[in-house]
Amino acid sequence: MDLLKYEIAAEPTLSSLAPIPMQLRQPERSEILVRIEASSLNFHDFLVATGGIMAAPGRVPLSDGVGIVEACGPDASRFQVGDRVMGTFFPDWSRGTAYAEGVAHMRGDHVDGFAASMVTMPESGFTRAPAGLDPVAAATLPCAGLTAWRALFIEGVLQPGETVLVQGTGGVAIFALQFAKMAGARVIATTGSPDKAARLTALGADAVVDRLDPEWGRAARKAAGGGIDHLIEVAGGDLSQSLQSLRTGGRLCLVGVLSRKPIQFAPPQLIHANRAISGVTVGSREHQEAMVVAVEQNHIMPVVDSTFPLASLREAFEYFAKQQHFGKVGIDFR
């Protein structure tokens, strides 16, 4: 089998993405050698691949990775040869609340990611993959799934009967919808597409609000029967309508800025209604382990819009850039 990998160029563009031969390195100490089976695309990966986030030339991209353990270093004890494992977004954040050193290195950005046939990495940067999911489905979880999980259950402490608002139909939004319904919450979704609105309803959304309505926040507040408890904010930019949708004492969890615009809002919208804004970036290995158990126990099936082979990574990113996908874009290495 030819071993291939991708590397970020000195001046990153999608056209510069091309597979190159790689050398396998046997694991040392507590490292494991993993044959990568699948990955998926995230907005963070797109920014790295296009230079929106500057990574060192030669960096291997892609923060998501699922594969089979092929060899273990002499001090490795968490996994055995043949285990299917799933990488963590933050290789240095094992447990507890976020701290500077734990979130300093993002996979596929500050340290190498999973766009490679084989990777040799410390076993502490992996969890087991959920049983019952194929590799592509499992590979959608480490970044987008865990972001939604932590926003709802670690930071938000979501309770049954509360109302969650999700924006659009990207990976984080769809996982937040699935996890919230799993927990007995009501879900209000936003989209500007009638077709996607129907698909959101089929997935369990209790109401869908037209994102193109300039007063969509009021519409969401009304649909929630008095206001949203938890809003998973992926767009950023002007937060006026998002804050408008929240109940008094509601919470906005900022997990992304897809708009690439500066955050703006009128302070009275936050202060007078005692609303809160918190920032969340993915989660720890401990959080991921808890999510894996919940996915298995509740038979959560990730929504995969489309799958591309590793050799077509550039084409996968080009499709991703159109922002027409529903759920996740997967990469199949097999």
What percentage of the chain carries pLDDT values higher than 90? 96
Mean pLDDT of 54-67: 97
Of 258, 216, 209, residue with least CA distance to 233: 258
Query: Amino acid identity of 330?
Result: G
Q: What is the mean pLDDT of residues 108-137?
A: 97
| Fold annotation for 145-279 | Rossmann fold (3.40.50)
Does residue 259 have a pLDDT over 90?
no
The Cα–Cα gap between 177 and 191 comes to: 13
Residue 78 pLDDT greater than 70, yes or no? yes
Averaged confidence pLDDT in the chain: 96
Task: Name 142's Cβ contacts closer than 8 Å, sequence gap at least 6.
Answer: 63, 64, 65, 86, 87, 88, 89, 282, 288
- Examine the pLDDT at 257 and tell me if it is beyond 90: no
For the stretch 18-28, pLDDT in tens is: 999 999 999 99
H/E run at residue 211: none
Number of H helices, E strands in the chain: 10, 15
Paired tokens of 280: 């969340």
Whether 93 shows a pLDDT value over 90: the answer reads yes
Give me the mean pLDDT over the 258-278 stretch: 91
Q: Which residues contact 93 (CB under 8 A, 6 or more apart)?
A: 99, 102, 103, 283, 284, 285
| pLDDT reading at 290 higher than 90 | yes
Residue 149, classed as helix, strand or coil, is helix
pLDDT at 265 (0 to 100): 92
Under the banding of pLDDT at 50, 70 and 90, the label for residue 1 is low
What pairs with residue 20 in β-bridges? 5
pLDDT grade, residue 274 (50/70/90)? very high
Euclidean distance between CA atoms 303 and 89, whole angstroms: 20
Q: Where are the beta strands (DSSP E) in 202-257?
A: 207-210, 228-233, 246-254
Residues of the chain with CATH 3.90.180.10: 4-140+302-332
Does domain 4-140+302-332 match CATH 3.90.180.10? yes
Domain with CATH 3.40.50.720 in the chain: 145-279
**Whole-angstrom distance, CA of residue 51 vs CA of residue 215:** 34
Q: What is the mean pLDDT of residues 76-87?
A: 98
Residue type, 280: V
Exposure pattern of 123-145 as b/e (b: 16+ CB <10 Å)?
bbbbbbbbeebbbbbbbbbbbbb
Virtual torsion, Cα 159, 210, 217, 229, nearest 10 deg:
0
Model confidence band, residue 175 (pLDDT cutoffs 50, 70, 90): very high
Task: Write the pLDDT tens digit of every residue in 292-315.
Answer: 999 999 999 999 999 999 999 999
**Which residues on adjacent β-strands are paired with residue 167?**
190
Residue 308, SS3? strand
Measured at the alpha carbon of residue 147, what is the angle toward residues 322 and 177, in degrees to the nearest 5? 75
Mean pLDDT in residue range 263-290: 94
Amino acid making up residue 120: T
